[in-house]
Amino acid sequence: MAELKINQSLITPETAEQLVKICPFSAISYDGELHINSACKMCKLCVKKGPKGAVEYVEDEAKVTVDKSQWRGIAVFADCADGGIHPVTFELIGKAKELAAVIGHPVYAVLMCNGDKGYSERLLKSGVDKVFVYDSPIFENFTVTTYANAFANFINATKPSSVLVGATNIGRSLAPRVACRFRTGLTADCTRLEMKENTDLVQIRPAFGGNIMARIITPNTRPQFCTVRYKVFSAPEQQENATGEVINCAVNPDWEEPSVRVLNVEHKPPENDISESEIIVAVGRGLKSKDDLQIVQKFADSIGAQLACTRPLVECGWVDASRQIGLSGKTVAPKLIITLGVSGAVQFAAGMKGAECIIAVNSDRTASIFDVAHYCVIGDMYECLGELEKMIKEAGK
């Protein structure tokens, strides 16, 4: 743990004014005493550039509070509450196998369902060593407390070192609830995962608005929790000769949440999800007006692509939020993505870096999008659309 310690005896109105000006986050205030509030990002500028000794950075050596040897295995939550296993589950299994190979641990899948319906077999064919099945009518519909009770039972009985959960609506609700019960850390929306030889899971994700890639570890508690979005990792090939084991776990009826009853479930009509699209045309702030979306949509239709956008266009109300790519939108991994007038901020790039082929069109030759693109077109997006359409159609013949 680390903290900033204020030496009030060295604080004068003059030094306080200097420190207030130094802080880029407006986290320092003075009312006769100097205060540092929750806006502090621990950048330590007040320590480095402020009056000597006025503010000190104090770091205590954390004490190891867990015997890591007692926690073994990497568990993946099998998200099937909406009927059918969500594809992110298989992507996490593929990554779990890579992580487990570093430390020689088994890979588990945790399945909660009302009727197996072949789920456990599919999980075994993905390469997991054991599938722990909680099969009961109480899991017919998702209620967070009921699922959390079963999840906690699994963790207490099996003691996995790490737990990977898909960042679906269900996973984002369930993972923090269970992590809180075990007083352990959880990192949301990880873009990369690495494993240390001491079983510490390195959870990597953009932070501070995408300006840095934070490497987060949970060294003093177990299990380690993280959530990962769909399309961040690749799913493994299904193995016909699965050698894993299915373990049917006892279900306690008292786990059911008594104060919550699902009376009816209404399914939304299916929609074209950009996460599933193989060809995407993404437009950014290079678009001059909302009316010009018709031009881009026509181009997308002509090459069989779905239209997507960056965050500014959603904030302007020009495009629906379901079509936004990026950290605050969706993660996509199409075979082809064409970006039009997109600058390529880290937040956007993190959401589409898994694309097999990236064609970027921008009039600014220094645009960041060119750093990740496979093919770069420097020019006005409006002037390039015709030639692009012609080239793509000819290549597809």
Question: Which residue among 14, 38, 59 closes a domain?
Answer: 59
The pLDDT of 250-272, averaged and rounded, is 85
More confident site: 269 or 33: 33
- Do 175 and 322 belong to one domain? no
Q: Is the dihedral of CA 89, 93, 95, 96 positive or negative?
A: positive
Residue ranges in 168-266 assigned as alpha helix (H): 169-181
Q: Tell whether 128 and 179 lie within a shared domain.
A: yes
Q: Token pair for residue 263?
A: 């009376």
Spatial CA neighbour of 306 closest among 284, 342, 282:
282
115-140: average pLDDT: 95
**Helices 144-158 and 169-181, axial angle in degrees (round to 10):** 50
Same domain, 55 and 93: no
Task: Say whether both 189 and 283 belong to one domain.
Answer: no
Number of domains composing the chain: 3
Q: Are residues 135 and 247 in the same domain?
A: yes
Containing structural domain, residue 236: 68-255
Residue 104 lies in a domain: yes
Furthest-apart CA atoms within the chain: distance in Å = 77
Q: Which two tokens stand for residue 359?
A: 């064609």
Q: What is the pLDDT of residue 19?
A: 95
Residues 238 and 285 in one domain: no
Q: What is the pLDDT of residues 310-349, one digit of tens each?
A: 999 999 999 999 999 998 889 999 999 999 999 998 889 9
Grade residue 386 by pLDDT with cuts at 50, 70 and 90.
Answer: confident
Query: 97 and 209 in one domain?
Result: yes
For residue 47, give Cα distances in angstroms to 36, 106, 352.
Answer: 12, 45, 38
Backbone CA torsion sign across 326, 330, 336, 339: negative
Identify the CATH number of the domain in which residue 375 sits.
Answer: 3.40.50.1220
Residues in the chain: 397
**Within a domain: 266:** no
Q: Is-contact 330 321, C-beta < 8 A?
A: no
Q: Hey, is 276 helix, strand or coil?
A: helix
Cα 242 to Cα 126: distance, rounded to the nearest angstrom: 8
Q: Which of 255, 287, 304 is the last residue of a domain?
A: 255
221 and 296 in a common domain: no
Residues 6+ apart with CB under 8 A from 343: 284, 285, 310, 362, 364, 367, 368, 369
Instruction: Clarify whether residues 18 and 117 are in a common domain.
Output: no
